Amino acid sequence: MTSTVSMPLWVLLLLIAFAAVTFASHFLFPSVRWFFRRRLERAVSKLNERLARPIQPFKLARRHDMIQRLIYDPDVTQAIVDYAARNNVREDVAFEQARRYAREIVPSFSAFAYFGFGTRLANWLANLLYDVRTGPHNGEIIDGIEHDATLIFIMNHRSNMDYVLVTTLAAQSSALSYAVGEWARVWPLSRLIKAMGAYFIRRRSRGGLYRAVLARYVQMATTGGVTQAIFPEGGLTLNGTVQPAKLGLLSYVIEGWKPGGRDVVFVPVAINYDRVLEDRVLIAAGTRGDRRFRAGKRKVLRGVLRIVWQRMRGRFKRFGAASVVFAPPVRLSDYGPEPSLDTLGRDLMQRIEAEMPVLAVPMVARTLLRSGGPMTEAALTAAARRIMTASGAETVPEGALDAEIAHACAALAARAAIRRSGEGWIIAEGGAPLLTFYAASIAHLLPGQPARDAALASGVAAPAGS
């Protein structure tokens, strides 16, 4: 026992390294994790005191535990058995496939990343690029929803800035959990998005096993009271209009809801812009009839650098207004013990359309497309006032209407969509598609005139007397 053992130096160093790793993994790391987790729990407790809707324990659960809970759920287990039988594979192989789906879907929410970094960045970016406006009753609508209900924002999808705007507006209320498409599954963006509490969905996946895993996660989050945000259109609008709802995620919510349990309250959210950052990319995709967004990385980088350079020189001007309006909420319990999915989806989209903000650029675009001739800024302002009266919109302050119409005309002229003639503003050659994209966002709010509406839809101005 006391005899000397000699060994090469590299073996001794290897033994020391193994011993250090064993000590750290069994004694040091658990203690460190416990220390930081206790500090995090205290920080979250203080944060919840100022949030209107505190962060639910489900959202704070360890990601590993959530994955285990998800893949051992009875519904997912049955889906694994069915998948193995249908595809003639062993059940352990099907189980590992379900585990991969769960790891892909389940987020790793960090309260520090969300409130310490994400919401601050979102607020800075939104106010850098836009004059951010909110509906006059947004705060009242959120305050009027019972705290023990699950809140789900249902939004139209015009731009990837939608995530930023709604995150900014909801930051004082709660932490949002977004359903994010496959575009964001790029490292390191994917890690940041998961830390913000978002979960990825494969919009093109039709496999029963994947749908079972996704459905159970959405249902667990809903039952756990997690505040969520869903884009039911399934993707960005290519023509500016609000698209019919794709009911996949909503169907999961309804299937997991039990009458008498925690109620689910949907808040329809209408979003509109004076300038959609991706507008030309979306229009091009709509013209081709596909959803391939061909925005080159160099072009995006040049745009970012141009904004940074203009900002440094004090010459950057914001892209006009970006407005977010909450519609009256919809309670799932109001639809009876067996809610109709089609009826719910239709009601939600109609409420979004009814509350669509009416901004200066869409009003100028619609007026010029319908006029068929030159219009002065005074005539455009008068037409905008009539549009606001007909739609019931209060998005543009009356006292600021003249200035906003002038700014909208200058912005559209800078993008070669309109040009000034001797008698006023007219549509520039090749400018109709861009104007149509913006005009379409408010066309449903205004009294229909078939001949002119057909011209509007095609992007060609109708004669003034039609």
Pairing of strands 330-331, 264-273: antiparallel
371 contacts 343 by C-beta, under 8 angstroms: no
What is the DSSP code string of 371-440? H-S-B-HHHHHHHHHHHHHHHT---S-GGGHHHHHHHHHHHHHHTTSEEEETTEEEEPTT-HHHHHHHHT
**Rounded to whole angstroms, what are the CA distances from 98 to 148, 286, 446?**
31, 35, 49
The length of the chain in residues reads 466
pTM of the model: 0.83
* Tens digits of pLDDT across the chain (466 residues): 577 777 777 777 887 887 777 766 665 555 555 555 555 556 556 655 666 677 777 777 788 889 999 999 999 999 999 999 999 999 999 999 999 999 988 888 777 777 777 888 888 888 989 999 988 888 889 888 988 899 999 999 999 888 888 888 877 677 778 887 755 555 555 666 777 778 878 776 667 899 999 999 999 999 998 889 999 998 889 999 999 998 889 999 999 999 988 999 999 999 999 999 889 989 998 888 877 776 666 776 777 788 778 777 777 788 989 999 999 999 999 999 999 999 999 999 999 999 999 999 999 999 999 987 799 999 999 999 999 888 887 677 767 889 999 999 999 999 999 999 888 999 999 999 999 999 999 999 986 644 344 444 444 444 333 3
In one-letter notation, the amino acid at residue 449 is: Q
